[in-house]
Structure 1
Amino acid sequence: LCSAKKQRKKPEAQTGGAQFQRRCSHCQVQKTPQWRTGPLGPKTLCNACGVRFKSGRLFPEYRPASSPTFSGDIHSNSHRK
């Protein structure tokens, strides 16, 4: 008995076709452990922003510290008191 393993076709972005660099629609970060669903659809938010969005705490002034648009004077990544 031989079991055949199904192979899925990889999207072009993963196979080296058209190079598409995904960005978080909120903080513009490109590297994240997981892409999450946001107000613009599936896989539009980074992990940090997606978790905050799902819990209702994604505010314009929030940016993860690793975001290229993070500014300590404007944004806060700590909990509000």
Structure 2
Amino acid sequence: MFTEQCDPTNTERVAAVEAVHGYLKATVQRVFPAADPEPMATAAWGLVHGLAFLHLDGKLDTSSAQAVADTVRAAVRALIGQSG
């Protein structure tokens, strides 16, 4: 979604982007009610895309599904300021 513009004439793609963004924003609002959901949703979206590209480029430990899950969880915890 960051590598090319969403074709405004492709109604399925536009609807999918809006649905994902709405879901992410609603999740942020539910988990962090005092936070401004827009920048936090953008940060989460960027984190997920960055991790996906690092994974695809072979830059993360992919020795096991658990290693991948641990890396993703650690990154998300770092983003939201939690440890452990």
Calculate the TM-score normalised by the size of structure 1. 0.28
Q: Considering only CA atoms, is the larger Rg found in Structure 1 or Structure 2?
A: 1
Q: TM-score, normalised by structure 2?
A: 0.27
Structure that is richer in helix per residue: 2
Structure showing greater relative contact order (alpha-carbon pairs closer than 8 Å, 6 or more residues apart): 1
